[in-house]
Amino acid sequence: MTDWFTAEWPWYIAGPLIGLFVPALLIAGNKVFGISSNLRHLCSAIAPGKVEFFRYDWKGSGLWNLVFLSGVLIGGFLAYHSGAAHDVAISAETRAALTRLGIHDFHGVAPSELFTWHALLTLRGFVSVVVGGFLVGFGTAYAGGCTSGHAISGLANFELPSLIAVFGFFAGGLAATYFLLPFVLGGV
């Protein structure tokens, strides 16, 4: 049974399970799947202060989402410490392209040249993590949700703004991959 939880699930099992999660949330209490709203819920729970945006009933609308976030964090921790292999399978072409950009360590789930505390003190590590994180956060706020919220819940509800947001996510990802990433990794 443990092997079932630690092994990779094929797309034809994981995809439908994620897809069925959306209607289950809607049926269970008109909940929308997404993760980005948790920052607002946390700010409202910890220190709402005088900011009107953070003064709302977070227990009624966000408690289940904070439990979901906790499960994601606990699941990630357990997966990391499960003893299973953590190397991401990438193609030889991708390895060659990343090597040309200065990435050489392909162990783990993220390159240590960019995603370690030591790398954070370098210019390209700072740009990749801090500036990139800020841009993701800004984009999430501007788009009114994250990729999971729009692409899974929004598209399942046939929402045009979610379709536009998903097109924007893909266009931004392609632009970052082919134009921004080579500049950041090679030119900085």
Are 59 and 119 members of one domain?
Answer: no
Are 13 and 75 members of one domain?
Answer: yes
Segments in the chain below pLDDT 70: 1-3, 5-6, 83-86, 187-188
32-74 pLDDT, tens per residue? 777 777 888 888 888 877 888 877 777 877 788 888 889 989 9
What is the pLDDT at residue 32? 72
| Final residue before a domain boundary, out of 29, 54, 84 | 84
And the tokens for 51? Answer: 């900011």
Are 98 and 58 members of one domain?
Answer: no
Are 122 and 150 members of one domain?
Answer: yes
Are 111 and 51 members of one domain?
Answer: no
Q: How many angstroms separate the CA atoms of 62 and 38, rounded?
A: 7
Q: How many angstroms separate the CA atoms of 70 and 78, rounded?
A: 12
pTM: 0.66
Angle 24-26-29 from CA coordinates, rounded to 5°: 100
| Final residue before a domain boundary, out of 56, 84, 112 | 84
What is the pLDDT at residue 163? 92
127: helix, coil or strand?
A: helix
- Burial letters for 144-158: b for 16+ Cβ neighbours within 10 Å, e otherwise? ebbbebbbbbbebee
DSSP state of 122: S
| Final residue before a domain boundary, out of 84, 101, 121 | 84
Are 117 and 156 members of one domain?
Answer: yes
Segments forming the whole domain that contains residue 96: 89-188
Are 5 and 53 members of one domain?
Answer: yes
Are 98 and 79 members of one domain?
Answer: no
Are 119 and 180 members of one domain?
Answer: yes
DSSP state of 107: -
What is the pLDDT at residue 5? 66
What is the pLDDT at residue 188? 47
* Contact between residue 123 and residue 188 where contact means Cβ atoms under 8 Å apart: yes
Question: 165 — phi, psi (to 5°)?
Answer: -60, -40
Are 60 and 74 members of one domain?
Answer: yes
Looking at the structure of the chain, the number of domains it has is 2
* Residues making up the chain, counted from first to last: 188
